[in-house]
């Protein structure tokens, strides 16, 4: 006799995952440049930052857009919130990789390897193959001073960035969306390289629509 066993999972789990997928894809449509063929996304969500001004920002947004049923308390972020793996979702245009494997060109921390411009091609090729991320090799002439070397270093870094596809000059990471108690509103934080902001969405007739963007930060 054969027995069939079924794993029963709460419908709410599937329902919320579906809403997260719909919300994130709407965010992608709203915020990723239309001419991008793809965008680089960090594979794991992050727990949104608990900024002290977040509650006030949501309150002001509710007043500005006359959202009387929006309760800022629903979006207070708990540091123990679980993270999502975006590989488990169908995110349009997303090239998903771990943070370590995504190129991060906008970091203010980078190193220079100054080499003599008479270096052999074989030696130079070896240096390029073994250099670290955000390390730039700058061939210089013996008589150049510090200012000239610094100028050449900036030129080398800029030329490298410009040689990349536009899609690879930025990377994105998304927080796990927070939904209000009614499921009508959602808050998600987006980090784009070294800047980011919060986005508030509302669900109207099954479609997510962006209401406001606030809390812009950069470093």
Quick one: pLDDT at residue 14? 59
Mean pLDDT, rounded, for 102-118: 75
* Residue 167 and residue 37 in contact, taking contact as beta carbons nearer than 8 Å: yes
Mean pLDDT, rounded, for 181-206: 92
**Tell me: the pLDDT tens digits for 43-55?**
999 887 667 788 8
* Chain-centroid distance, C-alpha 23: 15
pLDDT of residue 67 exceeding 80 = yes
Sign, CA torsion 85/87/90/96: positive
**Tell me: the pLDDT tens digits for 8-46?**
444 355 578 899 999 999 999 999 999 999 999 999 998
Task: Give backbone dihedrals phi and psi of 187, rounded to 5 degrees, phi first.
Answer: -120, 130
Domain map (residue ranges) of the chain = 16-102+170-218, 111-163
How does the average pLDDT of the chain come out, rounded? 85
Higher per-residue confidence, 203 vs 129: 203
The share of the chain scoring above pLDDT 70, in percent, equals: 86
pLDDT of residue 58 exceeding 50 = yes
Q: Measured between alpha carbons, how far is 188 from 198 in angstroms, rounded to an integer?
A: 6
Q: Measured between alpha carbons, how far is 44 from 13 in angstroms, rounded to an integer?
A: 18
């Amino acid at each position: 006799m054969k027995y069939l066993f079924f794993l029963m999972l709460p419908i709410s789990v599937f329902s919320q995952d579906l809403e997260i997928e719909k919300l994130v894809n709407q965010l992608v449509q709203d915020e990723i440049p239309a001419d991008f063929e793809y965008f680089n996304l960090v594979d794991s969500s992050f727990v949104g930052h608990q900024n002290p001004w977040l509650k006030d920002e949501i309150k002001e947004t509710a007043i500005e857009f006359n959202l009387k049923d929006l309760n800022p308390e629903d979006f207070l972020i708990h540091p123990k919130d679980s993270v999502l793996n975006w590989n488990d979702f169908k995110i349009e245009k997303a090239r998903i990789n771990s943070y370590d494997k995504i190129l991060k060109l906008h970091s203010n921390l980078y190193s220079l390897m100054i080499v003599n411009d008479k270096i052999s091609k074989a030696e130079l090729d070896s240096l390029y193959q073994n250099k670290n991320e955000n390390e730039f090799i700058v061939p210089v002439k013996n008589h150049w001073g510090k200012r000239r070397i610094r100028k050449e270093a900036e030129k080398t870094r800029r030329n490298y960035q410009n040689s990349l596809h536009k899609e690879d000059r930025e990377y994105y990471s998304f927080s796990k969306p927070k939904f209000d108690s009614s499921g009508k509103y959602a808050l998600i934080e987006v980090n784009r390289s070294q800047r980011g902001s919060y986005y508030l969405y509302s669900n109207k007739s099954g479609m997510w629509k962006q209401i406001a963007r606030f809390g812009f930060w950069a470093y």
